[in-house]
């Protein structure tokens, strides 16, 4: 493992790198994940690409002494990793909340990002929640954090998910730092307008690889030129529940991107 000091607040950000080849792929996990979420992607893509996996602050081997938890801060962390490695041809891949993070990172890596790939991040764009709706969604977490994390995590798995995987993920979610999770949830739930603006301004391809267990609003994504690819039979943790299908979808996406550049 290597690490870099975050330009946001000096917290240590740990990362691993594997393989070689352009574009480099930087994988960014979700709310309660860590770099181990992408083990199957590392072993598959390191044969053809440099693969970088990041532990966001508060996760894995990264530091957690942060007082302000925001998408902007995490985006700065990921950009710092790319800077540390001197990467100038990068595809950013973000799972769930990591999708917001890679948008923030791309804003800081102008001209060096080839594409953004969202994994179970946005099923629609533009259907914004009111302040009352946001507070209603957060209320269970303020009342009983562990129970709310348990419920949310279980509902995010598809019906055929491996029970052991479900229980392992639920245990991790229940033990997460409440201050970190609540700070990030508040930031993420308020972040969609910034994402919409950035997607319009960045002028790089955005691909959403989503599961089919919840409705995908293809029209709202297409309106912002986001390409939707759907993985059947899985839940929110797409790249873990069915890594073979996900890896093939991502590989096909990378081939299409390479063709469009030639």
CA dihedral 158, 176, 198, 107 (to 10 degrees): -130
Instruction: Enter the pTM of the model.
Output: 0.96
| pLDDT tops 80 at residue 42 | yes
Mean pLDDT along residues 189-195: 95
| pLDDT tops 70 at residue 262 | no
Query: What are the distances in angstroms from CA 38 to CA 109, 123, 134, 247, 260?
Result: 22, 21, 30, 10, 26
In whole angstroms, give the CA distance from residue 246 to residue 254.
12
Whether 46 contacts 19, CB under 8 Å = yes
The domain limits of the chain are: 2-127+192-261
Q: What is the pLDDT of residue 66?
A: 92
Chain mean pLDDT for the chain: 95
Q: What is the pLDDT of residue 159?
A: 84
Q: What is the pLDDT of residue 137?
A: 95
Phi, psi angles (nearest 5°) of residue 49: -140, 155
Which residue's entry shows tokens 């890594």?
A: 243
Question: What H or E segment, with its residue span, contains residue 33?
Answer: none
Whether 187 contacts 103, CB under 8 Å = no
Three-class secondary structure of residue 93 per DSSP: strand
Longest dimension (CA), the chain: 54
Mean pLDDT along residues 27-31: 97
Question: Which CATH superfamily does the domain covering 2-127+192-261 fall into?
Answer: Alpha/Beta hydrolase fold, catalytic domain (3.40.50.1820)
In whole angstroms, give the CA distance from residue 194 to residue 104.
9
Per-residue burial over 24-44, b if 16 or more Cβ lie within 10 Å, else e, is bbbbbbbbbbbbebbeebbeb
């Amino acid at each position: 493992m290597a690490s870099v000091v975050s330009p946001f607040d000096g917290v240590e950000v740990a990362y691993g790198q594997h393989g070689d080849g352009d574009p480099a792929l930087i994988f960014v996990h979700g709310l309660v994940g860590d770099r181990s979420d992408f083990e199957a992607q590392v072993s598959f893509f390191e044969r053809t690409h440099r693969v970088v996996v990041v532990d966001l602050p508060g996760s894995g081997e990264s530091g957690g002494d942060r007082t302000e938890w925001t998408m902007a801060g995490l985006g700065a962390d990921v950009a710092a990793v790319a800077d540390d490695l001197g990467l100038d041809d990068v595809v950013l891949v973000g799972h769930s909340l990591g999708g917001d993070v890679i948008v923030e990172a791309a804003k800081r890596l102008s001209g060096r990002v080839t594409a953004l790939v969202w994994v179970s991040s946005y099923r629609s764009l533009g259907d914004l929640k009111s302040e009352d709706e946001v507070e209603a969604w957060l209320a269970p977490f303020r009342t009983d954090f562990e129970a709310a994390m348990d419920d949310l995590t279980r509902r995010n798995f598809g019906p055929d998910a491996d029970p052991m995987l479900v229980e392992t993920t639920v245990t991790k979610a229940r033990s997460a730092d409440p201050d970190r999770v609540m700070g990030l949830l508040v930031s993420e739930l308020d972040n969609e307008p910034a994402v919409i603006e950035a997607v319009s301004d960045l002028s790089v391809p955005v691909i959403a690889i989503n599961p089919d267990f919840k409705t995908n609003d293809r029209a709202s994504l297409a309106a912002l030129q986001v390409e939707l690819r759907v993985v059947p039979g899985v839940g929110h943790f797409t790249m873990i529940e069915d890594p073979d299908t996900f890896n093939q979808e991502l590989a096909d996406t990378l081939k299409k991107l390479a063709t469009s550049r030639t």
